[in-house]
Structure 1
Amino acid sequence: MAENDARRLNRMFNRISSLIAAEKDYLTELDGAIGDADHGITMSLGFGAVAGELARSDLDEMPPSVVMTTAASVFLNAVGASTGPLYATAFLRSAKALEGRQSLDAAGQVAMLEAITLGIQERGKGQRGDKTMLDAWIPAAEAARAALVRKSGVRELWRDVVVAGEGGAEATRSMVAVRGRAARLGERSLGHVDPGAASAVLVLKAMMEVFAD
């Protein structure tokens, strides 16, 4: 049986959950340098809960937008930290972007990626250069749109997305945090990669593995 879009998104969330779990200690180590040392645990709980809920869902009858709405609700309930509302809003925005789409083709994937980025930006009131996860999400979304305009293949599109996200995350090493808990450190936040940007790259890599398959 052909894989429908809901099952594809389910596979995406499963892969995100696996990658985050595998790198949980690394993310927590990054957060220990400039935050509360809980980012890896928080992200693993959130995406693990989403994967678990979708495993119990009837994906054959679930539109992609409902998958994302479900992910938003479950992630928010599982994660009480600031990351919870950010990703919940991101998934709600992506659900809206997917409503009425006939298929999760390249254009739909880019629309979802852009909506996730916009949701995080709207909820967090942040921008590129603040030393947050947006420093990975914003360049990734920009790269996706540029690749779509060039009519790149899906594999090339996602390769550009991940490269842009990785570059953005690495750039946070030379930034001073102005938002979040790391902002309390001021200049002492220099020299450290933002954990939210690092986890965003893992999410992007998981998306690439599923959509470029």
Structure 2
Amino acid sequence: MSKIFKKIMEAVEEGDKEEVIALVQEGLEDGETPQSILNDGLLEGMNLVGEQFKQGTIFVPEVLMSAQTVDAGMEILKPLLNAGDIKNAGKIVFCTVEGDLHDIGKKLCSMLLQGAGYEVIDLGADVAVDRILDGVKVHKPDILAMSAMLTTTMLSMDTAVESLKKEGLDQVAVMIGGAPLSNDYALKIGANYSEDAVGAVELADRLLGN
């Protein structure tokens, strides 16, 4: 592995935005391709962060800092990347369901999914079923991901899945997650359950055969 890639990975782990920006620019000046810097530096660093989070050695604030650091590096690379240079694992429409304003878990999942090469369209929090359906129709995702942190709002997920069927959109895989949820509930409504953000990436990979 190139020395610069290792340094970028370490800066991502440390959540050091200024260092990542400097290293990305240094890599470009040294002749590394934008695609290599993205895949072998930024995204590999984010993968390591995901593993550390899964093992419980770091926590949500550190993951968010690392994800923001990756975004800072990406801002430099985006104008230099061709569409084909960016790994596209699939498209995901993500939201927190109606009545629920919690979005930290959703943001964390979105960042890790983006780090794994997924295009994530975030509809936000407190999203009604009609807006979810509109999002699916407009963006045509491979996966609809929904989050809920309250037992009173998780029932919206059932309504959303049923509505997808009625609208003939049930070819879209559905992922759900959040504190009150379980695999049993997911199976009951015809969805797929992930316990945490790292598991969301693994689940998306399984659903799409990545």
Normalised TM-score (structure 1): 0.29
Relative to total residues, which structure has the larger helix share, 1 or 2?
1
Which is richer in strand? 2
The structure with the largest alpha-carbon Rg is 2
TM-score normalised per structure 2: 0.29
Highest RCO, 1 vs 2 (Cα 8 Å, sep ≥ 6)? 1
